[in-house]
Structure 1
Amino acid sequence: MSPLYEFAATLAGNWSDIPDTLGRNLRIELPKTREYPEKKSPNRTRIITTKLESPFVIERNSINGKPQVGNDRYEGYCIDLAEELSKRVKFTYTIKLVNDQNYGKFVDGAWNGIIAELLKDEADIAIAALTITEAREKVVDFTKPFMNAGISLMIKKPENEKPGLLSFMKPLSYKIWLCIIMGFLGVSLIFYMVGRLSPYEWQRLGSESEPSDSYSLPNTLWFSLGALMQQGPDMFPRSLSGRVLGSVWWFFTLIIISSYTANLAAFLTFEKLTIPVNSVDDLVDNNHDIKYGIQTGGTTETFFRDSQVVVYRKMWKFMKEHADSVYVTNSDMGWEKVKNGKGKYAFLLESAMNNYYNQRKPCKTMKVGRNLDQKGYGVATPKDSDLRQPLNIAILELREYGDLFKLEHKWWISKGQCPSGDSGEKGKRALNVSNVSGIFHILIGGLVLALASSLSRVLFHRKIKDTLEKGTCSVTKMKENKDIASTPRTVKNVEPEELEENKSVN
Structure 2
Amino acid sequence: MGRKSLFFGILLVFLLNSKVGQCSISEKIPLGAIFEQGTDDVQTAFKFAIANHNQNDSGRRFELQAYVDVINTADAFKLSRLICNQFARGVYSMVGAVSPDSFDTLHSYSNTFQMPFVTPWFPEKVLAPSSGFLDFAISMRPEYHQAIIDTVKYYGWRRIIYLYDSNDGLLRLQQIYQAFAPGNENFQVRTVRRISNVTDALHFLRGLEEQSRWENKYVVLDCSADMAKEIVVGHVRDIALGRRTYHYLLSGLVMDDRWESEVVEYGAINITGFRIVDGSRKPVKEFLEGWKRLDPVQSQGAGRETISAQAALIYDAVFVLVEAFNKILRKKPDNFKNINTRAGRGQFYNNGSKILDCYPPVGWVSPWEHGDKISRYLRKVEIEGLTGEVRFSEEGRRQNYTLHVVEMTVNSAMVKVAEWSDETGFVPVAAKYTRLKPAAHIERNKTYIVTTIVEEPYISVRKEEPGELLMGNDRFEGYCKDLAELIAKKLKINYELRIVKDGKYGTENNEVKGGWDGMVGELVRNEADLAIAPITITSERERVIDFSKPFMSLGISIMIKKPMKQKPGVFSFLNPLSQEIWISVLFAFVGVSIVLFIVSRFSPYEWRILHPTDEPMRHPPHLHTNSGGTMANDFSLLNSLWFSLAAFMQQGGDISPRSISGRIVGACWWFFTLIIISSYTANLAAFLTVERMVVPINSPEDLASQTEVEYGTLYHGATWDFFRRSQITLHSRMWEFMNSRKHVFVKTYDEGIRRVRQSKGKYALLIETPKNDYINERDPCDTMKVGRNFDSKGFGVATPLGSPLRDAVNLAVLSLKEDGELTKLKNKWWYDRTECPKDKQESMRNELSLSNVAGVFYILIGGLFVAMGVAALEFCYKSHLEAKRAKIPISDALKNKARLTLGVGRDFDNGRYYTPANQIGPTTDNETPHSNTHTQV
CA distance in 1, matches of 2:598, 2:770: 70
Provide the residue aligned with 2:750 in structure 1. Answer: 332
Note if contact 2:444-2:492 (Cα within 8 Å) is conserved in structure 1: no
Provide the residue aligned with 1:434 in structure 2. Answer: 851
- Return the match for 2:528 from 123, 140, 147: 123
- Aligned residue for 1:62, secondary structure, equals coil
- Judged with a 3 Å threshold, the aligned counterparts in structure 2 of structure 1 residues 342 and 401 are, in CA distance, closer, same or farther, namely same
Residue 154, structure 1, aligned to residue 559, structure 2: yes
Note if contact 2:548-2:796 (Cα within 8 Å) is conserved in structure 1: yes
Residues 200-209 or 436-445, more deviating: 200-209
CA distance in 2, matches of 1:411, 1:41: 32
Provide the residue aligned with 2:607 in structure 1. Answer: 202
Residue 275, structure 1, aligned to residue 695, structure 2: yes
Residue 312, structure 1, aligned to residue 734, structure 2: no
CA distance in 2, matches of 1:387, 1:293: 37
Note if contact 2:487-2:813 (Cα within 8 Å) is conserved in structure 1: yes
1:407, distance to aligned residue in structure 2 (A):
0.4
Residues 247-256 or 59-68, more deviating: 59-68
- Return the match for 2:834 from 416, 438, 442: 416
1:461, distance to aligned residue in structure 2 (A):
2.5
Provide the residue aligned with 2:465 in structure 1. Answer: 63
1:468, distance to aligned residue in structure 2 (A):
3.7
Residue 394, structure 1, aligned to residue 799, structure 2: no
CA distance in 1, matches of 2:709, 2:526: 45
Q: TM-score, normalised by structure 1?
A: 0.82
- Judged with a 3 Å threshold, the aligned counterparts in structure 2 of structure 1 residues 216 and 43 are, in CA distance, closer, same or farther, namely same
Residue 231, structure 1, aligned to residue 651, structure 2: yes
- Per-residue CA deviation, residues 425-483 of structure 1 (Å, 9 max, x unaligned), is 355x311110000000000011111112222222333343344444599xxxxxxxxxx
Note if contact 1:55-1:76 (Cα within 8 Å) is conserved in structure 2: yes
Alignment coverage as a number of residue pairs: 432
Equivalent residue runs for 1:12-161 within 5 Å:
41-64=443-466, 66-108=468-510, 110-161=515-566
CA distance in 2, matches of 1:369, 1:421: 25
CA distance in 2, matches of 1:471, 1:389: 114
- Judged with a 3 Å threshold, the aligned counterparts in structure 2 of structure 1 residues 136 and 220 are, in CA distance, closer, same or farther, namely same
Equivalent residue runs for 1:144-293 within 5 Å:
144-206=549-611, 209-286=629-706, 289-293=708-712
1:333, distance to aligned residue in structure 2 (A):
0.8
- Judged with a 3 Å threshold, the aligned counterparts in structure 2 of structure 1 residues 471 and 115 are, in CA distance, closer, same or farther, namely closer
Provide the residue aligned with 2:332 in structure 1. Answer: none
Note if contact 1:290-1:345 (Cα within 8 Å) is conserved in structure 2: yes
- Return the match for 2:876 from 443, 446, 459: 459
- Judged with a 3 Å threshold, the aligned counterparts in structure 2 of structure 1 residues 63 and 232 are, in CA distance, closer, same or farther, namely same
Note if contact 2:556-2:719 (Cα within 8 Å) is conserved in structure 1: yes
1:305, distance to aligned residue in structure 2 (A):
0.6
Note if contact 2:444-2:494 (Cα within 8 Å) is conserved in structure 1: no
- Per-residue CA deviation, residues 18-65 of structure 1 (Å, 9 max, x unaligned), is xxxxxxxxxxxxxxxxxxxxx995411111100011110011231355
- Aligned residue for 1:122, secondary structure, equals coil
- Judged with a 3 Å threshold, the aligned counterparts in structure 2 of structure 1 residues 423 and 81 are, in CA distance, closer, same or farther, namely farther
* Alignment-mate amino acid for residue 770 of structure 2: A
- Aligned residue for 2:449, secondary structure, equals strand
- Judged with a 3 Å threshold, the aligned counterparts in structure 2 of structure 1 residues 400 and 41 are, in CA distance, closer, same or farther, namely closer
Would you tell me which structure has more helix in proportion to its own residues? Answer: 1
* Alignment-mate amino acid for residue 308 of structure 1: Q
CA distance in 1, matches of 2:458, 2:889: 100
1:335, distance to aligned residue in structure 2 (A):
0.7
* Alignment-mate amino acid for residue 480 of structure 2: C
CA distance in 1, matches of 2:819, 2:840: 26
Unaligned runs of 5+ in 2: 1-440, 614-628, 891-937
* Alignment-mate amino acid for residue 767 of structure 2: L
Note if contact 1:156-1:342 (Cα within 8 Å) is conserved in structure 2: yes
CA distance in 1, matches of 2:807, 2:643: 83
CA distance in 2, matches of 1:77, 1:104: 20
- Aligned residue for 1:46, secondary structure, equals strand
CA distance in 2, matches of 1:62, 1:470: 101
- Aligned residue for 2:799, secondary structure, equals strand
Provide the residue aligned with 1:502 in structure 2. Answer: none
Note if contact 1:61-1:67 (Cα within 8 Å) is conserved in structure 2: no
CA distance in 2, matches of 1:450, 1:172: 27
* Alignment-mate amino acid for residue 157 of structure 1: K
Note if contact 1:167-1:268 (Cα within 8 Å) is conserved in structure 2: yes
* Alignment-mate amino acid for residue 293 of structure 1: G
Note if contact 2:442-2:804 (Cα within 8 Å) is conserved in structure 1: no
Root-mean-square deviation (CA), in Å? 2.0
- Judged with a 3 Å threshold, the aligned counterparts in structure 2 of structure 1 residues 252 and 470 are, in CA distance, closer, same or farther, namely same
- Per-residue CA deviation, residues 266-325 of structure 1 (Å, 9 max, x unaligned), is 0000111111011121122116x111111101111110011001111111111111112x
CA distance in 2, matches of 1:40, 1:246: 89
- Aligned residue for 1:186, secondary structure, equals helix
Q: Which has the higher contact order (CA 8 A, sep 6+)?
A: 1
* Alignment-mate amino acid for residue 51 of structure 1: I
CA distance in 1, matches of 2:680, 2:861: 23
CA distance in 1, matches of 2:722, 2:740: 17
1:332, distance to aligned residue in structure 2 (A):
0.9
Note if contact 2:746-2:752 (Cα within 8 Å) is conserved in structure 1: yes
- Per-residue CA deviation, residues 231-253 of structure 1 (Å, 9 max, x unaligned), is 11222222221111111111000
- Per-residue CA deviation, residues 405-439 of structure 1 (Å, 9 max, x unaligned), is 01000111011111349975355x31111000000
Note if contact 1:168-1:436 (Cα within 8 Å) is conserved in structure 2: yes
- Aligned residue for 2:692, secondary structure, equals coil
- Judged with a 3 Å threshold, the aligned counterparts in structure 2 of structure 1 residues 396 and 205 are, in CA distance, closer, same or farther, namely farther
- Judged with a 3 Å threshold, the aligned counterparts in structure 2 of structure 1 residues 206 and 80 are, in CA distance, closer, same or farther, namely farther
Equivalent residue runs for 1:485-504 within 5 Å:
none
Note if contact 1:151-1:351 (Cα within 8 Å) is conserved in structure 2: yes
Identical pairs, percent: 47
CA distance in 2, matches of 1:207, 1:414: 87
* Alignment-mate amino acid for residue 461 of structure 2: E
CA distance in 1, matches of 2:442, 2:598: 105
1:200, distance to aligned residue in structure 2 (A):
1.1
- Aligned residue for 2:528, secondary structure, equals coil
* Alignment-mate amino acid for residue 601 of structure 2: R
- Per-residue CA deviation, residues 358-380 of structure 1 (Å, 9 max, x unaligned), is 11111111101111011100111
- Judged with a 3 Å threshold, the aligned counterparts in structure 2 of structure 1 residues 40 and 312 are, in CA distance, closer, same or farther, namely closer
Unaligned runs of 5+ in 1: 1-38, 474-506
* Alignment-mate amino acid for residue 875 of structure 2: V
1:190, distance to aligned residue in structure 2 (A):
0.6
- Judged with a 3 Å threshold, the aligned counterparts in structure 2 of structure 1 residues 472 and 311 are, in CA distance, closer, same or farther, namely closer
